A and B are shown apart, each in its own frame.
Chain A
Amino acid sequence: MPEEIKLMKGNEAIAYAAIRYGADGYFGYPITPQSEIMETLMDEMPWETTGMVVLQAESEVAAINMVYGGAACGKAVMTSSSSPGISLKLEGISYMAGAELPGLIVNVMRGGPGLGTIQPSQADYFQTVKGGGHGDYRLITLAPASVQEMADHVALAFDLSFKYRNPAMILSDGVIGQMMEKVKLPEQRARRTEDQVRQEQTWATLGKPDNRKPNIITSLELDSSVMEKNNQRFQAKYKLIEENEVIYEEINCEDAEYLIVAFGSAARISQKVVDLARAEGIKVGLFRPVTLWPFPSKRLNTYKDKVKGILTMELNAGQMIEDVKLAVECNVPVEHYGRLGGIVPSPTEVFEAFKSTFIK
């Protein structure tokens, strides 16, 4: 059977990939630029094929709490939104981290702050990786840079969130969500039966048989000595994730004298900048974090004595630049270039900025 290659939007790829993964439920709310995710799911009617529940909630707050309820039952559930909607979901995300619940949240970023714009942006980096909700928690964060990765990251994010019982986020943006590219969708997996869920998620609240104590999903603990232990358990988990789940891509970095560090759509633009630079004999490499948390600090650190300068290209006022500086321990000059308000800079514009910054 020939490989099944399709042309579709990044948002659509998320929807199809979720169905193919065997997701149990999606709970969403309309917001540009990601509404196609729910539209596609409603159009596909997976409740008639895989049995997947798809529900439009009354708000993003309700939607994330539906994810919380489904996750408490051990199910593979997800929601999606865009920046302002994600702000509304942060309490729920913190609750999921505190109750150690798996689940996928997709953020197709748009320009902020406030109602902002519907144009693309990457200005939710801090909100996502520095904990936008309350408390010491971390959010496994994947940054797709293509429609193919939008599809692939659904399974990856779900698997990581179940492996570590922690919410995971796909941090995309309006470019990746709206652009169309070829994509090979994953094979269809069967949804898990209740017995499978009971075996794999023994903590799930699926109704208490006589042979066990009640399962209670809560993040509440008034005894601070116990709450500290809970937090220490979370911190140990985050350490494990940082040691084992970092993903990044290096393009033309072996002989690089300069690096551009960029993720998502900014990385696609930066790839062209690398070509433009190389054409002028400037050895620039692209370092692309795929996991924004855990951030690839260790790997980036290896460049601190090898390159003369690092430019972070981000569609924001400069956020990931802080993590890059920390990674290279400020041994290398690290500068930022990015446009705000939803403007997406061209490769030549970025290349000019690179040159004026590093090649005086």
Chain B
Amino acid sequence: MAKIKGAVEINTERCKGCDLCVVACPSDVLKLGPEVNAKGYNYAIVVNPDDCIGCANCGIVCPDGCITVYKVKL
């Protein structure tokens, strides 16, 4: 079947480093990064972009609506 590729954008300033997106991602695409934002939170970053399937779990569970999700069928 057609290969699906996804990608996410994270609003790193709005992220509170709650880690729920990391937990929800089925493909371990995300991780809390070493850097902190203005509020001192270790914001989530994309570590395995190629594994993203655009399922949007991360975006849906994020309590602050920080993640925008895209998906394309190849």
Task: Verify whether A and B have any Cβ pair under 8 Å.
Answer: no
Binding site for B on A (CB under 8 A): none
Binding site for A on B (CB under 8 A): none
